[in-house]
Amino acid sequence: MDGKKIEPAEVVPASRKLGREDAVALARAARRIIVAKGKKVDEFKGGAASDDAVDAMLGPTGNLRAPTIRSGKTLLVGFNEDAFREHLG
């Protein structure tokens, strides 16, 4: 994010685990949810949080995947360089 001069509004330390309830709240506040798991990228509609979207946002331990970035009404969950480049400019 330094290369793009993006300044985060909030940084949550890894020691603070965000679970299903947090994922539901983030999904409801978003219009679009993009979830990356390695090279696989899935897109979901935000608003009423679907179980599929929330399940995709959570890792195997039941915690929200990192990194999670809210950019406007778009939520990016997990890391995929192409998705970041496309949605973060």
Going from the first residue of the chain to its last (89 residues), give the mean pLDDT of each consecutive group of 10, the final group possibly shorter.
61 80 94 93 87 94 92 92 84
pLDDT recorded at residue 4: 57
80 DSSP 8-state letter: -
Burial, 51: exposed, middle or buried (Cβ in 10 Å; 0-12, 13-18, 19+)? Answer: exposed
Please give the Cα distance from 41 to 21 (Å, whole number).
22
pLDDT recorded at residue 49: 67
pLDDT recorded at residue 35: 96
The vertex-43 CA angle with 87 and 12, nearest 5°, equals 65
